Structure 1
């Protein structure tokens, strides 16, 4: 409660957090649209231009975990000032880039600064809004989902009417949120603590080789992933304060929650990755029309977020997670059945799955906040954010490979449409089975303590 009183204007802080999250997520999704234009400008092969996204995601994922760890010791105002300043500098550098190498460097600089945003935005509700933590997490998650849907529309508009370089200039506008964040964040002192930089480097090795192997399809890199992983396990046992405490993963509750969240986000990101491809290849829709068809889903996620957050506070985090998984599984079954129908019908069906995005994020984050010790909230939530980004790379790579290899005419879902959409129907059906798996493993790990755990709240509540 003491930390909440330090916030001069809680509403202003929440608005600032949502604004910076909105612009950060849009930065990532806008550049998805611009990749073909960048390739055309510099006459690049697909494997070459893919580094615009691959390099960004790789640095972003490792950075999100690192900032989460740093947040356990350094004031949020210091970290957010550093992160946004670096991000803005990278954006301006990209706008004036003269060659492809400079564009890649700009994206890496952006990622170094931007990785701070999800780490701190998901930690701020836990630290500063203990009485309304679920509600605030729901709002933040809904903004994230909404920005994921709006980003491609905004990116297509800017790149189409101006030039893809203006995406960098648009991203640089994020700096306008910094004065408001600094004004509303409380003054805090740095805490003494040891940071295991060797362990951080080993974790970076695990994540970078894993993501490069996934996104670029270079299988021998997984050997280095295993090597870095083994070295990291050794490091975690060899010192007293490793970068990621080993006992985090010894908790059945923590492990079950991040696994369930990971499986849910894999399917959600997989859906977001696949739908534009499906509407382009199977329906023949243009970029702007695809954005409009997807927009109702993004809007539904935004509207659901606040209500879902209130449910977390009133009904309990596990109740909302079960509800989210039920909605998500149902939505994928409906999509598996209706893919092949008129685009507007599919657009309506997408709403069922899309609206669960903020529910999964908010309920999982709230459960983790209850599990984690105060001094380990940063790194614990950092692992949560890290897995979210890895899930995006993993789902995109696997779905891309599935679309390349499989071309069935008959869907496994006997109610589904035959023809070119059959492969998409099968993938949605597979998503529903993954969600069922996540539900069962979560239920199994929480069954005995579910009632008492769901009621666990801070004393101030």
Structure 2
């Protein structure tokens, strides 16, 4: 069934609003972790599961919903996801103890994972000529919401109470009748679901993310074993959870790996910046949010322009620009560390513009190289890699920041001093972005000549 232009416009607007709710829900709780710990008298290791548990379930759910979208109609999956997301939000608002709060966050993640996962599949399935523009709107919404989240969390948690944060995502239930009206009806496709493969994927992702965040080596061993069993399994069943043909597609794997590197740079920027601002500038939570806010606003504006540019110039062209902007932005953050806040904010602004362009160009490129049967799990793996890149960035750079006494700056444009560790980290991030740019450029140049 072909969607009418008005239904398409309404659907994109609704997707953008729902994505804002889910992304904000993932970031605004960061600033209220101390308040939650105080409410339930929790140790830091306990309260951290408010975020860790959410991210863990959310990451696994992103690839699961992607695969289910190849079998179950999107309308039904979105309805289930939004119901779980809203119910978990109401339960969180009413939570009388820590156990109920954790259950609420897990329910939120189980439902919320459907929205970005299916949000990237809907344009691939129903938008043909202006697909890049739609991906640009979705990606710019994600970038904008990630910058607004900490500010919203600080304001609501500061003036009211952390429980009131749950009322924001609870309102997502209002979108259910609209989605059911605007999304076309689809037939249930008869396809055998590889449940054992799905379990192996869940074990692999969960153990890998837990190892990265907790550094328990037995979890790494479990992750390696699960991955080995998964590879063995998918090559020996008729309808595997992840088709090995997809993973053998070099264009797909190179594009995914490029996105992984670029996204890890952005997550590294967002993770390190608040710590640096508090350490070097003694900035408040609101001050840190205000430094990020102009970049988030610019990402929202330029991301939509980038989507139009993708439709005109192509995904490869925009992806190169995105990686270049990210590399330049984080390099100048390295240069201006401990310098004026205006120069630092300008560098953050440049890097933030590249983020939605990177996401939308990658999503559009992937959507054109995937067959209809591969779209669900292919876009699901794209979302999963984004989460894993964030976990790796936070864990690796968090461990480096634990080192004390580093005063030598490897950036020749920055002086030595106590700020050197931050300058060095951002220089490394810029090198990663440049490496991703040259790897992507070299591969697609060879492909073009071939």
Could you tell me the TM-score, scaled by structure 1's length? 0.95
Cα drift, residue 212 of structure 1: 0.6
> Secondary structure of the equivalent of 2:414?
coil
* Range with bigger deviation, 185-194 or 417-426: 417-426
Give deviations 1:401-438, integer Å, cap 9, x for gaps: 01002542231111114333211111111011111221
Q: Do residues 313 (structure 1) and 316 (structure 2) align?
A: no
Look up the match of 2:124: 126
* Range with bigger deviation, 308-317 or 338-347: 338-347
Aligned-partner Cα distance in 1 for 2:6–2:287: 44
Identify if the C-alpha distance between structure 1 residues 426 and 132 changes in structure 2 by more than 3 Å, giving closer, same or farther: same
Cα drift, residue 394 of structure 1: 1.0
Look up the match of 2:353: 355
Q: Is 2:2–2:184's contact at 8 Å kept on the other side of the alignment?
A: no
Look up the match of 1:80: 78
Q: Where do residues 83-232 of structure 1 align in structure 2 (5 Å cutoff)?
A: 83-232=81-230
Aligned match for 1:333, one of 331, 336, 360: 331
Q: Is 1:412–1:426's contact at 8 Å kept on the other side of the alignment?
A: yes
Look up the match of 1:249: 247
Look up the match of 2:426: 428
Q: Where do residues 50-61 of structure 1 align in structure 2 (5 Å cutoff)?
A: 50-61=48-59
Give structure 2 stretches of 5+ with no counterpart: none
Look up the match of 2:233: 235
Look up the match of 1:457: none
Q: Is 1:75–1:188's contact at 8 Å kept on the other side of the alignment?
A: yes
Cα drift, residue 362 of structure 1: 0.6
Aligned-partner Cα distance in 1 for 2:103–2:449: 50
Aligned-partner Cα distance in 2 for 1:287–1:230: 43
Look up the match of 2:291: 293
Aligned-partner Cα distance in 1 for 2:449–2:157: 51
Aligned-partner Cα distance in 1 for 2:325–2:433: 10
> Secondary structure of the equivalent of 2:429?
helix
Aligned-partner Cα distance in 2 for 1:380–1:6: 27
Aligned-partner Cα distance in 2 for 1:356–1:41: 39
> Secondary structure of the equivalent of 1:405?
coil
Q: Is 1:149–1:294's contact at 8 Å kept on the other side of the alignment?
A: yes
Alignment size in residue pairs:
450
Aligned-partner Cα distance in 1 for 2:391–2:301: 27
Cα drift, residue 20 of structure 1: 0.4
* Range with bigger deviation, 188-197 or 24-33: 188-197
Cα drift, residue 77 of structure 1: 0.9
Moved over 4 A (4+): none
Aligned match for 1:389, one of 379, 383, 387: 387
Cα drift, residue 293 of structure 1: 1.3
* Range with bigger deviation, 409-418 or 358-367: 409-418
Look up the match of 1:276: 274
Cα drift, residue 22 of structure 1: 0.6
Q: Is 2:3–2:184's contact at 8 Å kept on the other side of the alignment?
A: no
* Range with bigger deviation, 270-279 or 381-390: 270-279
Q: Do residues 35 (structure 1) and 33 (structure 2) align?
A: yes
Q: Is 1:252–1:445's contact at 8 Å kept on the other side of the alignment?
A: no
User: CA RMSD of the aligned region, Å?
Assistant: 1.4
Aligned-partner Cα distance in 2 for 1:194–1:438: 37
Could you tell me the TM-score, scaled by structure 2's length? 0.97
Look up the match of 1:12: 10
Aligned-partner Cα distance in 2 for 1:421–1:343: 14
Cα drift, residue 440 of structure 1: 2.2
Cα drift, residue 8 of structure 1: 5.4
Aligned-partner Cα distance in 1 for 2:300–2:89: 27
Q: Is 2:198–2:241's contact at 8 Å kept on the other side of the alignment?
A: yes
Cα drift, residue 6 of structure 1: 5.6
